[in-house]
Structure 1
Amino acid sequence: MHAKTSSAASSAAQAASASQGSYRTLWRWHFYAGLFVMPFLIVLAITGTIYCFQPQIEPLLYRQQMVVAPRTTPRLPPDQLMHDARAAVPHGAVISTVHVLDDPSRSAEFVFKLPSGEKESVYLNPYTGAVLGTLSVENRFIQLDRMVHRKLLLGKAGELLMELAACWTLVMIGTGVALWWPRTKTTARDALLPRLSLTGRPLWKNVHAVMGIWLAFGALFFVVTGLPWSGSWGKNFNALATSANIGTPAGAWGGLPLQSSVPGKASVATASNNAGEHRHDAGNGDSMPGMVMSDLPLTQTPWAVTNAAVPESHAAEGARLPLQRVMDIAASLGVGSGYEIVVPSTATGVYTVSWFPADPKLERTLYVDQYSGAVLKDIRYRDYGAVAQAVSYGTSLHMGRYFGFWNQLACASISLSLAAMAVTGFVMWWKRRPQRTLGAPARERLAPPMRAWKTGLALLGIVFPLMGLTMLAVWLMDRLMFDRAFRRIAS
């Protein structure tokens, strides 16, 4: 009997030791992930919240340029407004983009590329043609906020850093949920509501854990919906989805001709289409070499078409279509308020109409021949693959657009709460920090295998290669530092 009791006690002790070892290992990885992610999380939370409220912020910041008194009189023709806007920019400036908005209280906006290479918006009163002012496109507050959110104003290096931070957030979420998971019998109230009767560091730890579990899904949603737009992984994912016909499959745009022809001559593309050959491969000359949607001067482009090739017009003698005609074509095809028109800058360019509304099902991309008005391509939501459709919905929700103000409020609440999580994590570390060391949780020398967690991390490293390299670097540094410290203690 004594032997059985002793054996049971030994098994219980081993189980407790294994559990403690697993907990400390998870805590250690949570610490490293949080240490890296925390500053980026605060930046993402603040800049994301600001960008979410762009529709309200910009008219307040730039009221003089953007807001006009509504009138019952009709607006001036858009071509006349564009002519008046051209007179307000330096000689040599080229019209780039036209913003089309039906709001009677908003000004007309035309974007020009200046001789210096910078882009400048010119705002006019649509009822009188009076120039209300100009704004630098690159230096507008919201654009700077967006660039901080995406790449910390550091170019490609900043873009990769933000991508890494998003990937490591996945590790932080996974280890955080595992650390919160109750190991003993407890009530739902204690697990899901903060125990405010605690004091000191235990209170901070409890608040941090409870907030974390409530925010885990929101944080995961932000990461998953943001990564498709990242500079490295997002572009590769877009290309993979397109090639697998789950993004924007080639040839999904119907049988309209991809090229116009010189007036009086039959179009080869049209003849092929009449014969039932709806071919859209790269060899038929349907796009300008290297020109894709992400190269165009658009404020925003639907994810599904960022890598879509832009078709071209055949150079032809004759006048370019007036802007009003392009707007009439867009309206006849159901394109609503709030879209952009990229004005062709070459004889073979096309008018590009990009509509990126709050409802993803209404997203639209049109390419209109600048001479004949023929619609060369008409890309709709129904043409997207399953992945691209899901990304479109995720993007709209991520940006706080899908269900209006309440979507904005939900996104802001989650973002700012995540920033608060970063602050509580810092306070917890500060309260227990040792002198002259980083203060990472101690690692058990004989930690349990934890095969499921290692498999999960390995899969994350494969799916996100950049993250995999940094995980390997952290693991090697941790092993080397730990073993060196252990040898010093042992000697």
Structure 2
Amino acid sequence: MSDATMDATSRPRAAASDLYRAVWRWHFYAGLLVLPFLITLSLTGAAYLFRDEIDAIVHADIKRVAVQEGETLRPEQLVASALTSVPGRAVKYTDPPAADLSAEVTVASDSGQRMAVYVNPYEGNVLGARPDRSTVMWTVRYLHSLRYFGPVARGIIEIVGGWTILLVGTGIFLWWPRGQQGGVVSVRGQPRRRIFWRDTHAVPGIFVGSFIVFLAITGLPWSQVWGGKVNEWANGSNFGYPSGVRVDVPMSGQKLTDQAQTSWSLEQAQIPETTPPAPEATPIGLDAAVARLEGLGLHPGYAVVLPSSPTGVYSGSVYPDDLSQQRVVHLDQYDGKPLVDMSYADYGPGGRWLEFGINTHMGQQFGLANQILLLAVCAGTILLAVSAALMWWKRRPSRSLGVPPMPQDPRVFRGLLAILIVGGILFPLTGASLLVMLALDMGLRRLRKPSLA
């Protein structure tokens, strides 16, 4: 065989090998960055999928009641009972979502702390009180969203989400069959061998990867830059209210999310104001407001934010598992007329798709099947992280991080860099982190000998 023929044959092989090395190198970097977060997100996410079930068990003393025959007490009676136990001003009443659950009254207590008071809806006795949003599942939710770590954490969510998509994309490339026997849908070898952990990482990864990307994308709405911009786009110019639904009423400047739990697409929604009343006007009261909201068809488990000023409104909202039952209604506190009445059907196409993705992300949309599927995805993600760590441990050189080798021809990075640039434009914070990683990688290569790169 001539030298020219050998060169023609070896060149494509070398190019393919270089591309594989480049992708492997960035797969390694992506895993190094996001796997610790993915383990934490998987553990907390798996628990949060069963939030209602877990809270009902852990907080059974304040959440659960014995079902009794006859009517439940009126909301104003339950609020009065709560204020007897925790003096202050009632700011929200939450209807029991089921016959065996307690009512919840949120109180701005005289001590200055916001408290959740749980009341038996049949007898009116207070079952207990604790700081608002301090149950086990609220704690898990804040850990999952990194809220405990301040506003910077929302930026971390975006960085992790973008790198997770890169991790899955490069992982698919590395898994792609190239004529090998095994390691595509089957696991080879024994646990003591590195190939076993390679296949344990690659084979489940190809099945779990698409779900991981889905969770990453549907988790991005809570991120700092990307999520904030998409939220503005989804909300339009009406501060979160779908076009054509918000009526021409004065707006208070207060956001719905500051007063009650709300859907992501309405986090920027402002609460309207009641028109300044006549001197002789009197509020309709909570009982009448609840009757009006129930007459409008709000799903059980709704929350009602009480007016805090003469121009305030009764804000009823509910976000059950069934997306079609999502509803927000603001009532004039003097005549009970709806100032705003919106539901999932009123959202634009973008808002509906975003809410559908978020609802599925939270394990709500398809009931128990949704929960079990995402629980399996969380378990699979942890398996990927553990197998990646073991695989790296078995192949790492002594006294080295074990970064995959550089391609012999650096030009192979051009196509990969183009993809990274596009990803950086779509996810700005991820793009910034990519630039930092590129700079670090270039710096490390300059410090080391080419043969060791």
Normalised by the size of structure 1, how large is the TM-score? 0.87
Q: CA deviation at 1:45?
A: 0.3
Would the alpha carbon gap of residues 117 and 32 (structure 1) be closer, same or farther in structure 2, given more than 3 Å must change? farther
Q: CA deviation at 1:293?
A: 2.1
> What amino acid does structure 1 have at the position aligned with 2:96?
L
Q: Does 1:288 align with 2:285?
A: no
1:441 to 400, 404, 420: 404
Would the alpha carbon gap of residues 489 and 307 (structure 1) be closer, same or farther in structure 2, given more than 3 Å must change? closer
Tell me the equivalent position of 2:319.
Answer: 356
2:106 and 2:117 in contact (8 A); partners too: yes
Tell me the equivalent position of 2:200.
Answer: 207
Q: CA deviation at 1:428?
A: 1.0
Q: Does 1:234 align with 2:209?
A: no
| Aligned equivalents of 2:242, 2:321: Cα separation in 1 | 25
> What amino acid does structure 2 have at the position aligned with 1:47?
T
| Aligned equivalents of 2:133, 2:76: Cα separation in 1 | 25
| Aligned equivalents of 1:141, 1:117: Cα separation in 2 | 22
| Aligned equivalents of 2:5, 2:114: Cα separation in 1 | 76
Q: Does 1:368 align with 2:331?
A: yes
| Aligned equivalents of 2:47, 2:192: Cα separation in 1 | 34
Q: Cα deviations across residues 454-487 of structure 1 (Å, max 9, x unaligned)?
A: 2221111001111111100100110111022126
Higher deviation after alignment, 424-433 or 112-121: 112-121
- Equivalences for residues 92-131 of structure 1 within 5 A: 93-131=88-126
Higher deviation after alignment, 8-17 or 26-35: 8-17
Q: Does 1:19 align with 2:16?
A: yes
Q: CA deviation at 1:226?
A: 0.9
Which consecutive unaligned segments of at least 5 residues does structure 1 have? Answer: 260-285
Q: CA deviation at 1:98?
A: 1.3
1:321 and 1:370 in contact (8 A); partners too: yes
Tell me the equivalent position of 1:270.
Answer: none
Would the alpha carbon gap of residues 344 and 196 (structure 1) be closer, same or farther in structure 2, given more than 3 Å must change? farther
DSSP 3-state at the match of 1:192? coil
In the TM superposition, structure 1's runs of 4+ consecutive aligned residues that sit over 6 Å from their partners are 487-490
Q: Does 1:41 align with 2:4?
A: no
Tell me the equivalent position of 1:306.
Answer: 267
- Equivalences for residues 197-276 of structure 1 within 5 A: 199-243=192-236, 251-253=243-245, 258-259=248-249
| Aligned equivalents of 1:228, 1:484: Cα separation in 2 | 39
> What amino acid does structure 2 have at the position aligned with 1:437?
S
| Aligned equivalents of 2:12, 2:184: Cα separation in 1 | 23
Q: Cα deviations across residues 34-89 of structure 1 (Å, max 9, x unaligned)?
A: 01101100110011111110110011011111111101121111111111111111
Q: CA deviation at 1:8?
A: 2.7
1:331 to 294, 301, 304: 294
2:151 to 156, 175, 178: 156
| Aligned equivalents of 2:427, 2:283: Cα separation in 1 | 47
2:386 to 410, 423, 435: 423
1:360 and 1:393 in contact (8 A); partners too: yes
1:137 and 1:143 in contact (8 A); partners too: no
Which consecutive unaligned segments of at least 5 residues does structure 2 have? Answer: none
| Aligned equivalents of 1:117, 1:8: Cα separation in 2 | 83
| Aligned equivalents of 2:12, 2:109: Cα separation in 1 | 70
Q: Does 1:78 align with 2:75?
A: yes
Q: CA deviation at 1:411?
A: 1.2
* Number of aligned residue pairs: 451
Percent of residue pairs bearing the same amino acid type:
32
1:18 and 1:447 in contact (8 A); partners too: no
Tell me the equivalent position of 1:142.
Answer: 137
| Aligned equivalents of 1:175, 1:342: Cα separation in 2 | 48
Q: Cα deviations across residues 385-406 of structure 1 (Å, max 9, x unaligned)?
A: 1111001111111111112112
2:274 and 2:311 in contact (8 A); partners too: yes
| Aligned equivalents of 1:24, 1:111: Cα separation in 2 | 57
Q: Does 1:460 align with 2:453?
A: no
> What amino acid does structure 2 have at the position aligned with 1:208?
H
2:352 to 386, 389, 402: 389
Q: Cα deviations across residues 125-167 of structure 1 (Å, max 9, x unaligned)?
A: 1111111111222432111111111116211122222321122
Would the alpha carbon gap of residues 233 and 445 (structure 1) be closer, same or farther in structure 2, given more than 3 Å must change? same
2:424 and 2:434 in contact (8 A); partners too: yes
Would the alpha carbon gap of residues 244 and 413 (structure 1) be closer, same or farther in structure 2, given more than 3 Å must change? farther
DSSP 3-state at the match of 2:386? helix
Would the alpha carbon gap of residues 204 and 251 (structure 1) be closer, same or farther in structure 2, given more than 3 Å must change? closer
